[in-house]
Amino acid sequence: MSEYTGYKGRSLEFLKTNKILIGDSVKILADIIYSGIIMPRYEHSDNKHIVLKLKNGYNIGLEISKIEKIEKNEIPKKIVEKIEKNEIPKKIVEKIEKNEKLPNILLLSTGGTIASKIDYRTGAVTPILTAEELNSSVPELAKIANIDTKALFAEYSENIMPNHWLKIAETVNEHLNSDYAGIIIAHGTDTIHYTSSYLSFSLEGFPIPIALVGSQRSSDRASSDAALNLIGAIKFLTECKTNGIYIAMHKDENDETIACHIGTRVRKNHTSKRGAFQTVGNDPAFLIVNNEIHKNMKDDFFTMNEYNPKIKINEKVALVKYYPGYDPIMLKNIINEEYKAIIFEGTGLGHIGKNMYPMVKMANEKGIFMGMTSQCIDGRVRMTVYESGRDLLNLGIIPLENMIPEIALIKAMWASGNTENREEIKEIMLKRIASEFST
């Protein structure tokens, strides 16, 4: 990281004039006296402010024109000597001895804030790569399980693509016959349910429970949910004797309850709340309330099959969200690009406008699988109620019960990765494999 990352113009000149670098501990006199650490800035930020991390972990921006005085806090000589000798990390991150009485857990890191640490000198967020670092960040974990860590990659969740899903699934499959009681996958929250869905289908029946865990608030914030989500997930894996793929996150804004959602029935329904994730159409499968595990869903909602890994995918699948005014030419482009499947996110019981019918007919004639889901959060597709739905059935669109649209997309990618035959894709899409639709 540069000594002045993100600073330019007036703000850069201000720091240079006062001989202040990113990571320096400073005292600033403005409207009041502020103490904290100078942080890097986003590269497209303005040149009028500097960013200060306060002792409570929050960052604030200070307008340089209102700063009367800034001075660097001197670091004690003994601390400087330890930093120069690289002794600080050795004291902070101590070696953990394995406790033979505790279960073993594997943590796979893919990125996101959940398995990251903050360097308070530079402000950089970096992945936690070792069990020692993890224990240093969340010391409570050492009392619950022995944790091995492996960093697969470090990506924001919006950058995790199908090739990443394959890597995760292959890595998990390598530990089929291990002595791990469970596997944690640390993941950014925005696309975590896409990953959990792919793993649910490709690792159908995997005998070791898997929990994907994210964090809505970064670990440098007082309101962070990172540690509690991680602790709750590991308690769940070590104490609840069940298999399956789950997402473990705060149930609501309080810290008492962590919810474990079935990986194919969950969505992120809020941009920033800690309780952003909800099981669609039902309650979370399990709740961890004050460290106690509570089964929260009826047995008939769980799908338990023999382990039958099929780690394949075909990305030539489209999710088409219908809206009034949707141009059928866009659907024609998908057809011409030789996509293998199209999932429609239709209105109500599963409808799209009649202006789409000619393109739907073309897709059907080209042997493309077409499935219908609904834009409604709850309820299921019923295409026999209205004439328009029956017309679409006759044009080859298959109703997909109450599958969540993006989950249907992932399932179609996985199905078409395992077979190119449309009838076989249809059979797979209508088979309840990983609790992706309710009975």
CATH number of the domain residue 327 falls in: 3.40.50.40
Tell me how many helices (H) and strands (E) the chain has.
12, 21
pLDDT at position 439: 76
Please tell me whether residues 104 and 167 are part of one structural domain. Answer: yes
pTM for the full model? 0.83
Please tell me whether residues 199 and 120 are part of one structural domain. Answer: yes
Please tell me whether residues 110 and 145 are part of one structural domain. Answer: yes
Long-range contacts at 385-390 (CB < 8 A, ≥ 24 apart):
385/349, 386/349, 386/351, 388/351, 388/354, 389/349, 389/350, 389/351
Residue 419 and residue 160: Cα distance in Å, rounded? Answer: 24
Please tell me whether residues 247 and 157 are part of one structural domain. Answer: yes
Q: Would you say residue 28 lies in a domain?
A: yes
Please tell me whether residues 272 and 337 are part of one structural domain. Answer: no
pLDDT at position 120: 47
CATH (domain of 223): 3.40.50.1170
Express each pLDDT in 149-206 by its tens digit: 888 988 888 999 999 999 999 999 999 999 999 999 999 899 999 999 999 999 999 9
The residues facing 27 across adjacent strands are 35, 71
* Catalytic annotation, pick one of 53, 110, 113, 195: 113
**Catalytic: 189?**
yes
Give the total number of structural domains in the chain: 3
Please tell me whether residues 292 and 337 are part of one structural domain. Answer: no
Please tell me whether residues 281 and 419 are part of one structural domain. Answer: no
Q: Where are the beta strands (DSSP E) in 205-275?
A: 210-213, 245-250, 257-262, 266-268
pLDDT at position 220: 56
* Catalytic annotation, pick one of 268, 279, 373, 411: 268
- Retrieve residue 409's tokens: 């997309």
Q: Would you say residue 155 lies in a domain?
A: yes
Burial class (CB in 10 A: 0-12, 13-18, 19+), 120: middle
pLDDT at position 141: 87
Please tell me whether residues 103 and 154 are part of one structural domain. Answer: yes
**Catalytic: 149?**
no
Q: Where are the alpha helices (DSSP H) in 128-174?
A: 131-137, 162-174
pLDDT at position 89: 44
- Retrieve residue 191's tokens: 């696309």
**Strand (E) or helix (H) holding 216:** none
Express each pLDDT in 121-143 by its tens digit: 455 555 555 656 666 677 788 88
**Catalytic: 113?**
yes
Residue 435 near residue 302, CB atoms below 8 Å: yes
Residue 189: phi and psi, rounded to 5, are -80, -25
Please tell me whether residues 279 and 386 are part of one structural domain. Answer: no
pLDDT tens for the chain, 439 residues: list them: 467 888 999 999 999 999 999 888 899 999 999 998 888 887 677 889 999 888 776 788 999 999 999 999 876 555 555 545 555 444 444 566 788 999 999 999 897 766 566 554 455 555 555 656 666 677 788 889 999 988 898 888 899 999 999 999 999 999 999 999 999 999 989 999 999 999 999 999 999 999 999 988 766 565 678 888 999 999 999 998 889 999 999 999 888 899 999 999 999 999 989 899 999 988 999 999 987 899 887 766 666 778 989 999 999 999 999 999 999 999 999 999 999 999 999 999 999 999 999 999 999 999 999 999 999 999 999 999 999 999 999 999 999 999 999 999 999 999 999 999 999 999 999 999 999 998 7
Residue 309 near residue 168, CB atoms below 8 Å: no
* Catalytic annotation, pick one of 110, 189, 238, 279: 189
Quote the domain boundaries for residue 393: 317-430
Burial class (CB in 10 A: 0-12, 13-18, 19+), 338: exposed
Helices 405-418 and 192-202 cross at an angle (nearest 10°) of 40
**Catalytic: 195?**
no
pLDDT at position 76: 59
The residues facing 104 across adjacent strands are 146, 180
pLDDT at position 307: 93
Express each pLDDT in 218-240 by its tens digit: 665 656 788 889 999 999 999 98
Quick one: which of 388, 358, 383 has its CA closest to 372? 383
Q: Would you say residue 258 lies in a domain?
A: yes
Residues 6+ away with beta carbon under 8 Å from 407: 193, 197, 264, 265, 436
Q: Would you say residue 1 lies in a domain?
A: no
Quick one: which of 419, 116, 433, 414 has its CA closest to 263? 433
The DSSP code for 351 is B
Please tell me whether residues 147 and 216 are part of one structural domain. Answer: yes
* Catalytic annotation, pick one of 5, 167, 190, 255: 190
Please provide the average confidence, as pLDDT, over all residues in the chain.
88
- Retrieve residue 421's tokens: 């035959």
CATH (domain of 23): 2.30.30.520
